[in-house]
């Protein structure tokens, strides 16, 4: 039995590791290509202008918010990644394994930029290069985080827990003071009190 549990644990962490490594590797590789091939002043247009490749460095969050607090975003990402790695121990469902992997891989991709890129450790600018109409420029790591978040929302809406256990739903009226059982119990107490007074 212990060997079976150990095998399941290995598969679970293997899934999370793969789903984290794939977007992380793709993100790091495509950022290097973007640095070498794309320019912020001369974007490459494709699909009739629907999709553009342009080089943007972002020291803040989405829409360049908080550019003066890069270190704060770096610290926040580090905390989030640490918490997710800790929480991954509870994952027993493949869907949640994919969610955790995508979120960890995406967050790590942008954290690598903030830690290792200029101007200083924990203050580096994130490399963004994918542009869609009416949307801020983003990268593969951002896509992984968004996809992971969407899958997490699906899992929550479908009431899928991390370990696969059924989500407890208390039946309406059961045990409630005004419910059927609560009302019967109150009636029994009243009848008992009346008999005692008689």
Tens of pLDDT along the chain (198 residues) come to 455 777 778 888 999 999 999 999 999 999 999 999 999 989 999 998 899 999 999 876 544 454 555 667 778 888 989 999 999 989 999 999 999 999 999 999 999 999 898 887 778 889 999 999 989 899 999 999 999 999 999 999 999 999 888 776 655 555 444 444 444 544 454 554 444 444
Query: Which residues are paired to 138 by β-bridges?
Result: 130
Annotated catalytic residue: which of 27, 42, 113, 142?
Answer: 142
Structure confidence at residue 10 (pLDDT) = 84
188 counts as catalytic: no
pTM: 0.77
Residue 180 is predicted with a pLDDT of 45
Q: State phi, psi for 175 to the nearest 5 degrees.
A: 75, 0
The alpha carbon of 124 is separated from its chain's Cα centroid by a whole number of angstroms, namely 22
Per-residue pLDDT, 17: 96
pLDDT at 171: 56
User: With contact defined as beta carbons under 8 Å apart, do 56 and 128 qualify?
Assistant: yes
Catalytic-residue membership of 142: yes
What is the pLDDT, as a whole number, of residue 151? 97
Instruction: Tell me phi and psi for residue 57, to 5 degrees.
Output: -105, 130
Q: Which position among 27, 42, 113, 128 bears the catalytic label?
A: 128
The neighbouring-strand residues paired with 44 are 53
């Amino acid at each position: 039995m212990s060997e079976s549990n150990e095998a399941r644990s290995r598969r679970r962490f293997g899934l999370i590791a793969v789903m984290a490594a794939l977007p992380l590797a793709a993100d790091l590789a495509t950022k290097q290509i973007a640095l070498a091939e794309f320019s912020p002043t001369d974007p490459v247009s494709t699909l009739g202008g629907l999709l553009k490749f342009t080089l943007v460095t972002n020291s803040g969050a989405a829409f360049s918010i908080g550019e003066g607090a890069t270190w704060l975003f770096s610290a926040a990402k580090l905390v989030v990644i640490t918490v997710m790695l800790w929480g991954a121990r509870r994952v027993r469902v493949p869907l949640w394994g994919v969610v955790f992997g995508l979120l960890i891989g995406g967050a790590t991709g942008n954290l690598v930029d903030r830690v290792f890129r200029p101007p200083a450790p924990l203050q580096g600018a994130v490399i963004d290069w994918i542009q869609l109409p009416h949307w801020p420029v983003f990268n593969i790591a951002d896509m992984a985080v968004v996809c992971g978040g969407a899958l997490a929302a699906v899992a929550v809406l479908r009431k899928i827990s991390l370990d696969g256990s059924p989500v407890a739903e208390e039946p309406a009226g059961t045990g409630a003071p005004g419910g059927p059982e609560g009302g019967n119990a109150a009636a029994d107490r009243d009848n008992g009190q009346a008999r005692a007074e008689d």
